[in-house]
Amino acid sequence: MNHAPHRIDDRIVEDVAVAAKVAEVRAPFNEGFTANTHVNPFSGTYLNGPLNAVVGTTDVALHRSNYSHEDMPAVIEGSSHDLIADAMRWWAKSDLATVRGFRYGTHVAPGNITRNDLFHFAPIGPRVGKASRVTLNQIRNQIDNSSLPYSAAIRVM
């Protein structure tokens, strides 16, 4: 088997037909969208505003795409994960937050962050759990088990 890693960037030409279909499907969720009318069937969470609404800004690129030899290997951490964990820590007023985001990721250049960007970071609308006291052993087990398949992690914990 032969393969080569590729960086997805602006050199790739947009497929006009695919872009038109995406715009058609997204249109009802942009301008004129009424908050809390669309529920995620997997998590029970609601979309609370248009996807294209600006919800924040960033001074650094947000991503999870570095190769394992780079300074911040994406298999371990990414700037998008730092954003999500920091937001959870802020919301929960906690000292620690973890993200089991193996599949999460997109690229956001420095500048505006849209609600759509957030859904690319966490497409399934996971809920945030909050605990008042956690032992060091529980934290270690959570980190150790995060690399296991979901069904195995449930059995181990």
Count how many domains the chain has.
1
**Which domain covers residue 132, as residue numbers?**
16-156
User: What predicted TM-score, i.e. pTM, was given to this entire model?
Assistant: 0.67
The reply to whether 1 falls in a domain is no
The reply to whether 8 falls in a domain is no
The reply to whether 88 falls in a domain is yes
pLDDT tens digits for 79-138? 887 888 888 888 888 888 877 655 556 788 999 999 888 887 776 666 666 667 788 888
The reply to whether 93 falls in a domain is yes
The reply to whether 7 falls in a domain is no
pLDDT tens digits for 17-74? 999 999 999 898 888 887 777 787 777 777 888 989 999 999 998 887 666 676 666 6
Give the span between the Cα atoms of 116 and 22, in whole angstroms: 13
The reply to whether 129 falls in a domain is yes
Task: Return the exposure string of 36-53: e unless at least 16 CB atoms fall within 10 Å of the residue's CB, then b.
Answer: eeeeeeeeeeebeebbee
Signed CA dihedral, 112, 83, 34, 17: sign only: positive
